[in-house]
Structure 1
Amino acid sequence: MSGGNMAEKDLATRVARVLGRNSVRLEDLPPGSSRGAARVLSEEGEPIAFLRIDLGVATDVTVGKALVSEMALVKRAHDLGFPVPKVFALLNDPPVAVMELAAGTARPDEAEAERVGPEFMGHIARLHSIAPAEFGLDAPATVSDAIRQDLDCYMADAEARGITRRPLVRLAARILRHALPRSAEPPAMLHGDVGAGNFMVDNGRVSAILDWELAHAGDIHEDLAWLWTRGAHTAFGDPRQRIAEYEAAAGKALDPDRLAWHVAFVTFKSVIGLQRRMYAQGDDPGLLIILIAILTYETLLCAALGRILGIQLDMMEEAPVEGVTETVRLIELMRHVAPPANREGELLQQYLRAEAAQRPWNADRLRADARERLGAHPDQLDMLVDSAAPDRFADLLRVFGAAAGRRCKAFPNAERRVRRALAIGLGKQN
């Protein structure tokens, strides 16, 4: 927020009033899934507070909580002694939370991540020991009920936004429902997005746990599954070490099969959230990053679903074959007559050219996979996703997994993220 228009100046004036300052400046930070963020700077340029701003992307509060609901959870967590920023005030039009500025960094280096790992996992274990009602949340009777309700909410949101037009989304939902964990335990209080990037570290201690937007009642294995899924883009050591630290703090062992299921589930949630951002109305300066993430997480979703089905997918090993098409020639002409103005524009044009050049190869390989694996034409895949019996899930997934892996070949950043996530165990058999 540069303060260049009247709405931003009015917001800065209101924030200054809350903080007891004559004036402040607002400095934009990269947005999350449905929240904007800004540092509040004093007249001298010193960071003094933090803003969390509702961008109106996730309007369905069953999927992403409204800002006022999120802040109620943060306030309760603060009262219970968790390291969370203090909420100074809630403003309207747009909805904005004025919060304490947490000290430290959300990107600790490897050594610091290892130092704070046991402390952070201890906080998560303690959170899981508190009943959701203590946070003002209603909860279904059992963990299985909570999981089923959560999956239903994500699918309803995806249906409403047209995201279920993507066959992989529907196939993933069918596999998840088929293998849904059975547990009569009462649901636990979950943070909903555990891992690096969502907590701050300062002088070797956890200074703040951030981003409670997805907090809900559910299965503790879901929170731990995020360690793998978030690890695709932000490292936090070996997830298996973090799990050991959690088990030591909680005094109980996790179920590897339930954990594997939830790795697939939270990766599925990530795909839905990214698609929501991609097709939301309005300009989003982070669309290139979202595109990279979609390519990454659709491939990782296939790997995680394969683990549920007990199969190891062969992905990312085929060398791409590029051809010259009309679209390729037009993109090359565009790069010549209208060179990109910045690095992001250059990356986007490189991706568009590579995707267009690899499209015939992708189509040929998809036809071959559909014929060899399913005895079907690619045009039949959409129908098979909805009608095939569960014993065909593995072959369908092999076809979609190979296709997702090939799509990553057009964007090296996506391929690197996939390989990093696979290296820390996402999709591997127990």
Structure 2
Amino acid sequence: MSSTNGDPAYSDEALARIHLVVEETVGGRIVSSQRQVRWRPAWFVAVEKEGATETIHLRGDRGGNVAIFPDLKREADIIEVLYDHGIPVPQVYAYVADPPCIVMESIKGTRDLSDLTDDEKRNVGREYMQAVAAMHALPLEPFVAIGMDRPEEAQAIALVGLEAYMPQYRRTKARPEPLLEFVIQWIRRNVPRHRDKASFIQFDSGQFLVEDGKMTKLYDFEFSMIGDPMVDLATMGMRNTIEPLGAPLPELVRYYEEASGQPVDHDAILFHVLQFSLLGTMQFTGTVASPEPADPHSVYLQFDLALRRSILLALSKLADVPLPDLPELPRRKGDHAALMAKLADTVGSITPSDELAGSQRAQALELVEWAERADAYGAEVVRQDIADVTQLLGEDFADWPSAEAALEHRVLEAGPDQDMALIQLIARIEGRRLRLFGPTSIGEAALNVRLPQTR
């Protein structure tokens, strides 16, 4: 089957089937279709009806090996429940099973708040937090009726995300993960046990659009669950560091308290910053270690590096273990520097045929830059990492895979009395990785990661 959109699952023939559903459901005739340039298949289609044109959004399945809830219909059902209960979300017009696609209202507005006045930003922040509080107050029965799991006690409520992500992590894990295995055990031992009331949560929160100085609607409910409402404040705080939500986060928290009538739990928010960072890393580690065809690998590398930094910052604060101050790597040229330079030149000289191809060329150049750093500094980082693991475990290792496997084995056997030593060792390993790849366009986001300040 032919394809002109870069994703074999969404061939021209498959898109034609989706377009037929759009025209039958919405009425009218599709006059244009534009692929959204991002890491999942999505389109904006213009439908002409009775002399007017309406824009419809087609949300496809991201595919690959990173789906936690692989059935896209789950998200469509969630959005419909929210819409029926008055939460500002797009209307779902139809769901197409083959290939998976949600046919939905296209939300007006932008995510860029830079042109708003301070008063408009505060207003947007207040409107957003009112919507979040209303969402958290919804009855849970309609969500249970569409198949969502409902945790009933503090341990299950706190760890609903971990339990949801664990099967995908175990299935796709392609290498030892000492950091992730340590944090999985740590959060199981340190659940906030007083948090025993569950709500519907967006989980990957902070996603809304703005038009004319006002919030329009919320979007993206792919990872929604029933759990601790503080999860949404934690994840929106993390998003706020790279994608501002309007008012400063402490002010947003006050708006939430006003709208919900409940004080927020700042310690629980930090716990969920740690857990959400862990889960995001768990989600992508398999495809980062063993990329799937057509994966947006540079995007996943960016997520992985930034989330690991967030894990370390949150864990350091919660466990009261300071992170090591590592020296800069010694400057040197890579052994294959000339080849890397030529590869960058060759990829950079390619003329893309459209916006999507331009995005793919940009990702390729980012990967070349990443490989240049690995060529120049990777061997020295591995040498230092092996030396650290050797010192802790008291045995020699021929290579990094064997040292990393031995460290993971120690993590899985260790008790809480070894937390400090393991945190400091793992922080040195992950810190060197940040030194290695932070000075790249992919790694820039990780260098700017900060813990969200909620008060």
Which residue number corresponds to residue 105 of structure 1? 110
Which residue in the other structure is 1:9 paired with?
Answer: 16
What does the per-residue CA deviation read over 1:222-243, in whole Å, with 9 as the maximum and x for residues that have no partner?
Answer: 1111023323532335333322
Note if contact 1:323-1:360 (Cα within 8 Å) is conserved in structure 2: no
1:365–1:59 Cα change, 3 Å: closer
Taking the aligned partners of 2:203 and 2:226, their CA distance within structure 1 comes to 9
CA contact (8 A) 2:173 2:285 kept: no
How many residue pairs get matched?
Answer: 419
Q: Which runs of 5+ in 1 are unaligned?
A: none
Query: Shift of residue 164 of structure 1?
Result: 6.5
Q: 1:302 to 1:47 in 2, by over 3 A?
A: farther
**Could you tell me the TM-score, scaled by structure 2's length?**
0.82
Residues in 2 aligned to 1:59 and 1:273: alpha-carbon distance in whole angstroms: 6
Alignment CA distance shift 1:208-1:58 (3 Å): farther
- The equivalences for 1:354-393 within 5 A come to 354-370=373-389, 379=403, 380-393=406-419
Instruction: Give % identity.
Output: 22
- Aligned residue for 2:159, secondary structure, equals helix
- Label 1:140 to 1:328 Cα distance change in 2 as closer, same or farther (>3 A): same
Establish whether residue 397 from structure 1 lines up as the match of residue 423 from structure 2.
yes
The offset of 1:373, in angstroms, is 6.4
Separation of aligned partners in 1, 2:187 and 2:91: 38
**1:208 alignment counterpart:** 217
Give the letter aligned to residue 76 of structure 1: V
Alignment of 1:136-175 (within 5 A): 136=145, 137-163=148-174, 165-175=176-186
Cα displacement (A) at 1:282: 3.0
* 2:250 alignment partner in structure 1: 240
Q: Kindly tell me: are residues 178 and 231 of structure 1, through their superposed partners in 2, closer, same or farther at Cα, counting changes over 3 Å?
A: same
2:440 equivalent to 1:421: no
Greater shift, 268-277 or 79-88, is seen at 268-277
> d(CA) in 2 for partners of 1:343 and 1:150?
33
Deviations 1:252-272 (A, max 9, x none): 222222111100001111112
Distance (whole Å) between structure 1 residues aligned to residue 38 and residue 52 of structure 2: 21
Letter in 2 for 1:418: A
Identify if the C-alpha distance between structure 1 residues 132 and 303 changes in structure 2 by more than 3 Å, giving closer, same or farther.
same
Kindly provide the CA deviation profile for residues 352-372 of structure 1, in whole angstroms up to 9, marking residues without a partner as x: 111221113312432454466
Alpha carbons 1:140, 1:146 under 8 Å: kept: yes
Distance 1:358 1:249, change over 3 A: same
Query: SS at the partner of 1:227?
Result: helix
Q: Could you tell me which residue of structure 2 aligns to residue 133 of structure 1?
A: 141
Report the Cα distance in structure 2 between the residues aligned to 1:319 and 1:46, rounded to whole angstroms: 56
Q: Answer yes or no: is the 8 Å Cα contact 1:311–1:394 preserved in 2.
A: yes
Whole-Å Cα distance in 2 between the matches of residues 422 and 59 of structure 1? 25
- Structure 2, unaligned stretches of length 5 or more? 6-10, 351-360
Q: Shift of residue 309 of structure 1?
A: 0.7
TM-score by length of 1: 0.86
Q: 1:114 aligns with which of 118, 122, 140?
A: 122
Kept in 2: contact 1:303–1:401 (CA 8 A): no
In 2: Cα distance, 1:199 partner to 1:223 partner: 13
The partner residue of 2:367 within 320, 331, 348 is: 348
Deviation of residue 40 (structure 1)?
A: 0.9
Q: CA deviation at 1:83?
A: 0.8
Match of 2:279 in 1: 269
Counterpart residue number, 1:250: 260
Over 3 Å counting, the alpha-carbon distance change for 1:36 and 1:345 in structure 2 is: closer
Q: 1:261 to 1:374 in 2, by over 3 A?
A: farther
